[in-house]
Structure 1
């Protein structure tokens, strides 16, 4: 009787063997392997993300339909990039017909090397803030903020800069400490059979890239305690200005609300504790109510986007959850 032939080792077996091998290396050996592998993967990533691509990306395209190119969904928030979440939220606030570009290659970027970007009638508009400005002019959406006076516009601009240029990079310092949990939020099909392999090296790349960004911005030179104190001051400033208003500038959502929501949603809805999340819970509960209000009004498909990783943009066909009506003292009437 012949013995059964052994089955061929799977890719997962090879990965486990490689992990075992690395675990048995000396600290210097591990550093050498990690550095070499990280360099190879980084160079390959840079080549993929900077190589020429067709433009416009969407061909053929529908006339006057906005195509949104962004990172894939996550299981906690519709996008782990506050700028992608900001742009898509604004498109919904402005009631602009758009379509998410599904299966958009994760290594592709705009002509400026960033995500998100949009395309309209074959023309690319990079950068979330500039895209909002350009689309407002082209699609005649300036009326969304016609009710704001000069002082309100100045304050709104100040808060947009504060939350994206100051609070967000400070929060990044604490988000990177949960890199494994972040990777677990990505769609399981993102890298297919290479998911375990890519996650193995992504931890190093995410941490290194984040530290470099923070260092060169100056924020990374501060101690964690100072970053906590400064971010709490930012959160308190937003909270005090918001007060019991529905949105930052009153009863109508504007582009500053999309920007603020894009960042606060990362702090509030990611499934791990950070000093900023704790501070909001203890000292600024109105910021969580504010995010819930925007989420219920403009993201009725939140569960579908985060649990099924759906990129559908027919959000108005969903029935939004009613937002609570607040009295001047902030109490709910519902």
Structure 2
């Protein structure tokens, strides 16, 4: 059975990591059995979580894991139903979530000490569950925050003012809501891989306790809220709150 290595649930979410939520949601959509364990960055093939193990094979990256499983088990979500235009649109939607909104979410969690204080205990619990000694957790989290800030500066998000980041986040949320429109899911009325991606990025904004103008805008977009509630009800109703 496939093993997914993750951070661990928190704030009523399946996991702290958006890409873990994406992967696990996809697995539940596809009806593929799996087990999960707290991951260890030192053992991750690319030094990131999630990663997965299938027998002796370690697979990095949520998208690569999904591609591997599609090749092994077939197109469980029937993504092959989409033509060239829908596939191109799906690629653009994926970029909106994973290459843009994701970095807004990282900024909202890690940039300011006040924001980081909200998620720091949950990351600390995940680290200890992964075998990090308690005395090492605080210095390692401080190191991780500095590293994440440097990454955000290199990526570009960290070079903007807080208000500019909020404005970008609101704009991206509006774009996602406009793309969804009155459909049940992003490409049509049946779930596809892109919906697992969307849920992975939207759920931490909508359902985690941290407040921000980005969350406020997301809550104003009723179709996004309904979409996330639809995914949560269909695939996560049996999951205890973290």
Q: Please report the TM-score for the alignment, with normalisation by the length of structure 1.
A: 0.65
1:146 counterpart SS class = helix
Query: Counterpart in 2 of 1:289?
Result: 226
Query: Counterpart in 2 of 1:179?
Result: 116
Cα displacement (A) at 1:124: 1.8
Distance 1:215 1:145 in 2: 36
Structure with more relative contact order (C-alpha pairs < 8 Å, separation 6 or more): 2
Over 3 Å counting, the alpha-carbon distance change for 1:105 and 1:164 in structure 2 is closer
CA root-mean-square deviation = 2.2
Query: Counterpart in 1 of 2:103?
Result: 169
Cα displacement (A) at 1:97: 1.5
Distance 2:143 2:16 in 1: 16
Over 3 Å counting, the alpha-carbon distance change for 1:105 and 1:138 in structure 2 is closer
Q: Determine if the alignment matches structure 1 residue 123 to structure 2 residue 57.
A: yes
Deviations 1:77-119 (A, max 9, x none): 1111111111111011111111113xx4544442222111122
Distance 2:205 2:26 in 1: 19
- Structure 2, unpaired ranges of 5+: none
Query: Greater helix percent: which structure?
Result: 2
- Residue 205 of structure 2 is aligned with which of 267, 287, 291? 267
Q: Tell me the matched-pair count.
A: 237
Q: Please report the TM-score for the alignment, with normalisation by the length of structure 2.
A: 0.88
Q: Determine if the alignment matches structure 1 residue 136 to structure 2 residue 63.
A: no
Greater displacement, 203-212 / 267-276: 203-212
Over 3 Å counting, the alpha-carbon distance change for 1:191 and 1:235 in structure 2 is same
- Structure 1, unpaired ranges of 5+: 1-64, 308-334
Query: Counterpart in 1 of 2:7?
Result: 71
Q: Determine if the alignment matches structure 1 residue 85 to structure 2 residue 21.
A: yes
Cα displacement (A) at 1:271: 0.7
Distance 1:231 1:188 in 2: 28
Computing the radius of gyration over CA atoms, which structure comes out larger, 1 or 2? 1
Over 3 Å counting, the alpha-carbon distance change for 1:107 and 1:246 in structure 2 is same
